[in-house]
Amino acid sequence: MNLPDLKEARKRTNKEILVKTNDYIVKENLKELGLGKKYYIKTYGCQMNVHDSENIKAILEDMSFEETDKFEDADLILLNTCAIRENAHNKVFGFLGRVKHLKEKKPHIISGICGCMAQEENVVQKIKDKYKWVDIIFGTHNIYNLPNILFNSMTRKEQEIEVFSIEGDVLENLPVKRDSKYKAWVNIMYGCDKFCTYCIVPYTRGKQRSRMPAYIIEEVKKLMQDGYKEVTLLGQNVNAYGKDLNIDYKMGDLLRDVAKTGIPRIRFMTSHPWDFDDDMIKVISEYKNIMPYIHLPLQSGSDRILKLMGRRYTKDKYLKLYDKLKRSIPGVAITTDIIVGFPGETEEDFEDTLEVVRKCQYDSAFTFIFSPREGTPAALMNDDVTKEEKDKRLYRLNELVNEYANINNQKYLGKKVKVLIEGIGEKGNLFGYTETMKLVNVDGDKSYIGEIVDVQITDIKTWSLDGKIVK
C-alpha cells in the first residue's frame, strides 16, 4: 500500500528527471486477465485527464478487457477524477453512490478511482474509511503499473492503494487508444511548478517535466501517417516547455518543429501569460498550420489579488501581452479563465476584473468561484466574501462575458471559414471547429467526416454557429 502524502507532493528537488522507455510491461500471465470482461471509464477534469484515460483504455485492452459505454454492463468501473474544485469532488462521490448500488446487485464488479483526487490525502483516507468496497485507488504517477494493481486486487481481495507522491519521471512507452481518428492529444510536458496559491495541480501532477522534442515530433509524424488532421500539444503551462531540459530548446522551437511536420492543424494549451515569449508569437504568426487560437487565463484583473494568487504578472503586463497577440496574429481568438471570490476580493478588485474583460472582449471565458483546496496556501487565507456576494459576482461576470462572446460570434455571419468535420451531432448534422475553435453545425453527409472543408456561416446561435459547405 502506498498512500498519498501532501508534504511529499509539495517538494521540488534538483533530482534528475528520468526518461523511462520500458516501465510499462504486461506480464505474460496478465495478458488475458480481462478476457470476457468489460470496462467502463468515466473521466472528469481537463484534457490531461482525458488523455490519461486514453492510456488507461489501451492498457486495459492489452489485458484483453473490452470497452463498454454502458456502466451497467461493466465488470470494471474506473473513475478518472479531478480535484480542481469542490464540485468536481462532489460529482465523483455522487457517482460512487451509483457504483455502490450496482455492486450490491453484481458483487463481482471491480471499482476503482484514479486521477487527481487519488493524489489527495483526505480523499484517500475517506475512501479507506467509508468506501471500503472501492477496490483500487491509483495515482497519476502509477498508471503504468495498472496491470499489476488490478492483478493484486483480483487475487488478494483487499483494497489496493497505490499512489506515489513523487516529483515524477517521463514515461515514453504507455500505449494509447485515442477517442478520435482525426484529432489527437499530445503531451509535451507533465506537472507544474508555478504553485499558484489556489491550485492543487502542482501537488497532484508533480514537478514540471518536459518530454524530449524528438519523442514529440516522432509522435506527431506517426499521427500524420495515421491520417490525423489536428494535434493539441498539452501541458499545464506549455509556454514554459523546455525550461527544465538541459538543452536550449523552448516552446517556440517546439512549435516550429511541429509545424514543419506539415500536420494541418496544431493547437496548444494552456498558456500561462508569464512565459509567453516573442519567439512563440513570431512562430504562431508565421506558420499557417498553427491555429490562431489562444487560451490565456487571466484569473483576476486586480494587481492585489494577482499577487495573492502568485500569478507573477500585473493587469498591465497581461493587457500588453494581450494587445501584442492581437496585433501580431491576424484573426486570433483569445479565451480565458477567471476566478471570482478569491479570499479578500473587494468590489474594487472585482471591478478591475470586469475592466479587463471589457478591454479584452474575450471570445469566451470559463468562470469559477474560488474553491479552497486542502493543502494550498489560499485555503488558509482569510475569506470574508459571502457566498451570496460571490454568486452575484459570478453572475455579473458571466453576463459581460456572454455579451462579448456573442459580439465575437456575430462577426462570423456570412464569412467563409475552415472547419475540421469531426462527426455527426445530436440533430443528425455534421459538426466541427473553426481554426479559432468555434463550434459549427454544418449540413452535409458523413463522407466529409475527417476532412477540413470551407464552410459559409449562415446563422449565429448562443454557443455555436451554423453553416453550409461551399467547397
Binding site for ligand SF4 (CB under 6 A): 192, 194-196, 199, 201-202, 236-237, 272
Can you tell me which of 41, 48, 60, 283 binds ligand F3S, judged by CB under 6 A? 48
Please name which of 386, 391, 379, 393 lies closest in space to residue 199, comparing C-alpha atoms.
379
Length of the chain: 471
At its nearest, how many Å lie between ligand F3S and the CB of residue 32? 31
At its nearest, how many Å lie between ligand F3S and the CB of residue 264? 27
**Looking at beta carbons only, is 79 or 266 nearer to ligand F3S?**
79
- 466 vs 464: CA distance, rounded Å: 7
Residues 186-245 that bind ligand SAH (CB under 6 A): 198-199, 236-237
Q: Which residue has the cell 459581460?
A: 400
Which among 41-49, 178-186, 377-385, 455-463 is the span making contact with ligand F3S, rule CB under 6 A? Answer: 41-49
Residues 72-111 that bind ligand SAH (CB under 6 A): 84-85
Return the one option of ligand F3S, ligand SAH, ligand SF4, none that residue 139 interacts with (CB less than 5 to 8 A, by type): none
Q: Is 320 helix (H, G, I), strand (E, B) or coil?
A: helix
Q: Which helix (H) or strand (E) holds 418?
A: strand 416-424
Helices (H), 212-346: 213-225, 251-260, 278-286, 303-309, 315-328
**Looking at beta carbons only, is 87 or 346 nearer to ligand SAH?**
87
At its nearest, how many Å lie between ligand F3S and the CB of residue 170? 16
Asked if omega into 270 is within 30° of 0 (cis), the reply is: yes
Question: Count of residues binding ligand F3S (CB under 6 A)?
Answer: 13
At its nearest, how many Å lie between ligand SF4 and the CB of residue 173? 26
Q: Which residue has the cell 474553491?
A: 371
Residues 187-246 that bind ligand F3S (CB under 6 A): 200-201, 204-205
Q: Does 79 bind ligand F3S (CB under 6 A)?
A: no
**Looking at beta carbons only, is 199 or 325 nearer to ligand SF4?**
199
Q: Which helix (H) or strand (E) holds 353?
A: helix 347-360
User: Nearest to ligand F3S by Cβ — which residue?
Assistant: 45
Residues 322-341 that bind ligand SAH (CB under 6 A): 337, 339
At its nearest, how many Å lie between ligand F3S and the CB of residue 336? 16
Q: 27-33: which pairs have CB atoms within 8 A and are 24 or more residues apart?
A: 27/147, 27/148, 30/63, 30/147, 30/148, 30/150, 30/151, 31/62, 31/63, 31/64, 32/63, 32/64, 33/63, 33/64, 33/65, 33/147, 33/150, 33/151, 33/154
Dihedral, 84, 144, 238, 203 alpha carbons, nearest 10: 40
**Looking at beta carbons only, is 57 or 207 nearer to ligand SF4?**
207
Q: Does 368 bind ligand SAH (CB under 6 A)?
A: yes
**Residue 190, beta-bridge partner list:** 209
**Looking at beta carbons only, is 99 or 201 nearer to ligand F3S?**
201
- 349 vs 357: CA distance, rounded Å: 13
Question: Count of residues binding ligand SAH (CB under 6 A)?
Answer: 16
- 345 vs 212: CA distance, rounded Å: 41
Under a CB-based contact definition with an 8 Å cutoff, are residues 39 and 74 in contact? yes
Q: Does 297 bind ligand SAH (CB under 6 A)?
A: yes
Can you tell me which of 211, 373, 390, 438 binds ligand SAH, judged by CB under 6 A? 373
Can you tell me which of 9, 33, 59, 82 binds ligand F3S, judged by CB under 6 A? 82
**Looking at beta carbons only, is 44 or 313 nearer to ligand F3S?**
44
At its nearest, how many Å lie between ligand SF4 and the CB of residue 335? 15
At its nearest, how many Å lie between ligand SAH and the CB of residue 334? 13
Can you tell me which of 83, 109, 174, 240 binds ligand F3S, judged by CB under 6 A? 83
Can you tell me which of 208, 299, 436, 441 binds ligand SAH, judged by CB under 6 A? 299
Residue-wise over 400-439: b if at least 16 C-beta within 10 A, else e?
Answer: bbeebbeebbeebeeeebbbbbbeeeeeeebbbbbbbbbe
Q: Which helix (H) or strand (E) holds 234?
A: strand 230-234
- 425 vs 465: CA distance, rounded Å: 13
Contact residues toward ligand F3S (CB under 6 A) are 45-46, 48-49, 82-84, 115-116, 200-201, 204-205
Interface positions with ligand SAH (CB under 6 A): 84-85, 198-199, 236-237, 270, 272, 297, 299, 337, 339, 368, 370-371, 373
